[in-house]
Structure 1
Amino acid sequence: MVPISADRIEDLPALRGLFDFPVAACGCAIPLTGARHHPAEAVLVAGAAERRRDEFLAGRACARSCLDALGYGDAPVLRGERGMPIWPQGAIGSISHSGTIAMAVVAANVTARSIGIDVEQRRAVTDELQDLLFRTEERERLALLPQDERRAAATLMFSAKEAFYKAQFPIGRAFVDYREVAVETSESGFAVTTCIDIEGLGRSGTRFDGRWFAADGHVVTAIAL
């Protein structure tokens, strides 16, 4: 299930189950009213709109809860290049939020080079967005589906690309357009194939596998590199 509580941070076994190695996974509803926000994180969004501030702080609170579970204490998760989280030495992680929920996952960097997660409302991607997000062959596959199934499938594919982007950026520092990777999905997994060379990840045509689940009107994707 996905997090529903606004007054506490919850453990997320389903998210942990998307990885083959030990991770801490936490989530909460937005806004999170029952947690103390770290001053070093709060200052980063002091001038932001209320919704953006609530999303950012809820995600960071989940991340710090994960870090604490792994023995890192109450370390702040600051903001680096292109907004990517800066993790304490020895840790890797990822944060995501989607309107009303936030979640984070953290692991030791001996288990993988990087990890990425994403959460989206189940049918968030409309037909009008497909040209911006998908390659021709992906759009052709989606066109074969009934509209309701098409939106769910498109959202899953988009979420997989988002999770991959979050995981690849700390490695290659590359801006990868949505149409520069191709995604194929299965019942509980997905494959991302690069369509360009990415430093640190190999030549065009390299494949990376991830997993996903859907619950409570949301889809959650995860990948480790």
Structure 2
Amino acid sequence: MIHLHLPEGLYSCFSDLSHSSEVLFETEKNIATAYEPKRLMEFCSGRYCAHLSLKKLGVDAPILKTEEGAPLWPKGITGSISHSTQTAGSIVASTDRIQSIGLDIETMGRISPDMWSILFTPNEINMLMHSKPAEIDFLSTLLFSMKESFYKMQFPISQHFMDFQDCEVTYSNEKCHIQPHVSLSAPLNNPAQYDIKFLRLETEIITYIILHRPDSSFRHDKPKHQVYNHPRKPYRHERQ
């Protein structure tokens, strides 16, 4: 059961990876003509979640792709799609309230120590090395997933291709903070504007970062979410 506590006006949906091209619009099917079966199932399951999320906003439209491969949302909509080895999901909102969203879903235990020097900054590695052994899989996956969510959140605004070490994640008291190490234009240059959240499941981590419009107040007193029970199924990681 997946339950995200989202500000008012944001909607999410999660599912397993069992969906076929029957859930796609014809224009979406054209994108996926060359996909092998496993990749097609991932794509269809992600679009299935995004379609259900959009319907909560009264929108029933295809989600195509940009030249960079990111979802091309209908006019007036921002959102993010992700999938892990087991789960697909999406978060969407109107651009009247939200500037950008980054969502990532990761299976824990896939970030081995030999990958740390590529993915993490010296400070992040130091934190991992001083963590309890039982928490290393969780923390390394959390750091990686936060970077993925941040990349997805910032790219539609900055069009900047960030490396993993271009931002640094700190974790303390069950909260994360992200500091970019590259110059980003407003509103991305103020980390205090990032609404950063994560959900720890038994074998997965879901991270999401929401960039609110400066003139929009956001409240967590009326969470909007969808809850799904689903079986566990295998897959591979993609940025969107």
Sort the TM-score into its range (normalised by shorter chain): 0.7 to 0.9
Provide closer, same or farther for how the CA distance between residues 105 and 118 of structure 1 changes in structure 2, counting only shifts above 3 A: same
2:41 aligned residue (54, 74, 98): 54
Deviates more, 1:31-40 or 1:211-220: 31-40
The CA deviation string for residues 7-54 of structure 1, in whole angstroms up to 9 with x for no partner, is xxxxxxx22x1x333211111101225962222112212112211111
Is 1:92 matched up with 2:78? yes
Aligned to 2:17: 30
Gap runs ≥5 in structure 2: 212-240
Aligned to 1:172: 158
Compute the TM-score of the two structures, normalised by the length of structure 1: 0.87
RMSD: 1.9
1:102 aligned residue (88, 103, 115): 88
Distance in 1, matches of 2:42 and 2:94, equals: 25
Provide closer, same or farther for how the CA distance between residues 215 and 98 of structure 1 changes in structure 2, counting only shifts above 3 A: same
Aligned to 1:139: 125
Provide closer, same or farther for how the CA distance between residues 125 and 197 of structure 1 changes in structure 2, counting only shifts above 3 A: same
Q: Say if 2:27 and 2:64, in contact at 8 Å, map to a contact too.
A: yes
Equivalent position SS for 1:190 = strand
How many residues align? The count is 210
Aligned to 2:200: 214
Q: Say if 1:190 and 1:209, in contact at 8 Å, map to a contact too.
A: no
Identical pairs, percent: 30
Is 1:114 matched up with 2:97? no
Amino acid at match of 2:145: S
Distance in 1, matches of 2:177 and 2:36, equals: 36
1:125-136 to 2 correspondences below 5 Å: 125-136=111-122
Q: Which has the higher contact order (CA 8 A, sep 6+)?
A: 2
Compute the TM-score of the two structures, normalised by the length of structure 2: 0.81
Q: Say if 2:102 and 2:152, in contact at 8 Å, map to a contact too.
A: yes
Superposition deviation, residue 148 in structure 1: 3.3
The CA deviation string for residues 154-199 of structure 1, in whole angstroms up to 9 with x for no partner, is 1001111111110100001111111010001244431110111023
Gap runs ≥5 in structure 1: 3-13
